[in-house]
Amino acid sequence: MKARLVGATVAMALSLAALPVGGASAAPVTHEVHFAAFTEGVAAEVIKSFPGTLRVHSGDLIHFTANTDPAIPEAGVHGAGLLPKGQEPRTWLREQATNLEGPWAAFVPDPDEQPDLVPSAWKISNRMIFPNRPQCGATADNPCDFDGSGDGDQGVLASGMGWGVDSFLDFYVRVTAEAGTTLWALCPFHPAIRVRIDVVADDEAASSPEAVAAAREAAIARHATKAVALHEEYVDARIGRRGRDGAKVWQAWAGLEAGPIFLAGMYPRTLRVRQGDTVEWNFGRKEIHTVSLPLNTALQTPWLTVKCDLDTDAGTAEDVDGAPAPPFCPGATTQVEFDLDHTFPLPIGNGSFGGADDFETSGIRGYGYPGLRSAPYRLRFNKASGRGGFAYACMLHYGMRGKIVVAD
C-alpha cells in the first residue's frame, strides 16, 4: 500500500508540472531551476536539472540555484551557463567546452608557468569561475536580461561560481527572447545538468512554479530511495576475478554513479585483499576524481593554488600568491589564476603500492573529456598493510575515502 501511495504521489506531481500558469494578462513569474539536489539517508547528489524542461513567457525571471550539504562539503559546485538560441548542448559542449582547445574549456594550459613541463602546467579557466556580466544577476531586483542573441562563444551568459553566497549558484535571469524561441542552460562544471527553456506566447500556458516544485520534491524522494539501496549494495561489495598470473583483480569505484545519482564515496568502503592482488577503480561520467594514497600525502598535496599573474600570460614574471578571498589580486579577474599543481592531473607511481613512503595516484579521471582519462585505474598491492589497512582519498573531494586491507 505504501509503495502505491508513493507512486501515485510521484505521478500526480509530474502531471501537475505540465499544468498552465498565467496568460495574456499575467504578471511576470519567477521560475525556480535547481541544478542538482542532495538526498536524505546517504551522502548522494542527483546530478540533473529540476525541472528538465521549462515553459516561460518573455519577461519572466528564472532563478538558478543549487543546494549545499555539509555532509558533502566539496560537492554542490555548480554554475549556470545560458546558451544563445540555435545552440544545442551536446554540439556546444563538443565545440566550445569539452574540446580542450575550446574557449569554454574547464582546464586550460598556463603558458608562462613552468613552460619546460611536459605536459605544461594547467589552470582552471577564469570563464568557469567568474560571471561574464558581473553587473547583474545577483538579485531578483537586478537580473541579467537574456534574449538569446550572439554566437556560441560571446553569446553565452555565465553565472560563475557565486563567491560569498550560501550556494555556489544563486543567479537571476530575465528572459527577453521572443516567443517561439528555445534556449538551453547547463552547468559548465557538470555537463549532464541541463534545462530546456521554451519561450511561449503570452496566450499560451507557461510552467507552474508550484507544480514544478512538487514534481522536484517527489523526484528527489524517489532518487533518495534508489541512492540508499545502491549504497547498501556496494558499500561492502567483493567483486573479483582471477588475473592471468593467478592473483585476484578486485573491483572498486571512485564515486558510484547510476543514472543521475552520484554517491560521494569510495566503494567498497573497506576492501580486503591478499598480497599480489590488484584493485581496479572505475570512474563515472558526472564527476571527476582521483584515487590517491597514502591518505596523508593525498590530503596534504595542495592541488589548487590561487596565484596572481601580474604581467598576465603574455609576460614571463613569476606568479605571486593571491589572497584567499575575492578579489584575490590587485587586478582582480585580469590577474587571478587558479593553478593546478602540475602533478595533480597526471598519474604518479609505478602501479604497485609499496607502503606509507610510496605516493601513487590515478590523476584526474572521469567526465570522458578528451585529454582526461576515463579508463579504470589499476594498482597492485605487494606489501601487507596490517590490520589498519592502507587509507586513500580523492584529492578533489577530501570526504571521499576508502581503505585497502592487505593480508600476507
Q: What is the DSSP-derived secondary structure letter of residue 333?
A: G
List the grid coordinates of 93. Answer: 559542449
CA–centroid distance for 359 within its chain: 26
CA distance 349 to 352: 7
Residues 187/78, Cβ–Cβ less than 8 Å: yes
Beta-bridge partner residues of 172: 63
What pLDDT, on a 0 to 100 scale, did the predictor assign at position 12?
32
Distance separating the N- and C-terminal Cα atoms of the chain: 52
DSSP states along 370-381: TTSB-S-EEEEE
What is the chain's pLDDT, residue by residue, as a tens digit (408 residues)? 333 323 333 333 333 343 444 444 468 999 999 999 988 889 899 999 999 999 999 999 999 998 765 555 555 678 999 999 999 999 998 889 877 778 998 888 887 766 555 455 788 888 888 999 999 999 999 999 999 999 999 999 999 886 655 567 899 999 999 999 999 999 988 888 999 999 999 999 999 999 999 999 999 999 999 999 999 999 999 999 997 778 899 999 999 999 999 999 999 999 999 999 999 999 988 888 999 999 988 888 778 889 999 988 887 788 899 988 888 899 888 899 998 876 677 788 999 999 888 999 998 888 755 455 678 999 999 999 989 999 999 988 888 999 999 998
Taking the model in full, what pTM does it have?
Answer: 0.85
Residues ≥6 apart with Cβ < 8 Å to 329: 308, 309, 310, 322, 323, 335, 336
Are β-strands 270-274 and 261-267 bridged in parallel, bridged antiparallel, or unpaired?
unpaired
CA distance 188 to 354: 38
Q: Where in the chain is the domain with CATH 2.60.40.420?
A: 2-222, 235-303+342-407
CA distance 112 to 114: 6
Q: The domain 2-222 belongs to what CATH superfamily? A: Cupredoxins -  blue copper proteins (2.60.40.420)
The amino acid occupying position 244 is: R
Element (H, E) at 157: strand 157-158
CA distance 185 to 88: 10
CA distance 396 to 44: 16
Residues 78/190, Cβ–Cβ less than 8 Å: yes
Q: What is the DSSP-derived secondary structure letter of residue 346?
A: S
CATH T-level assignment (fold) for domain 235-303+342-407: Immunoglobulin-like (2.60.40)
Residues 401/252, Cβ–Cβ less than 8 Å: no
What pLDDT, on a 0 to 100 scale, did the predictor assign at position 43?
87
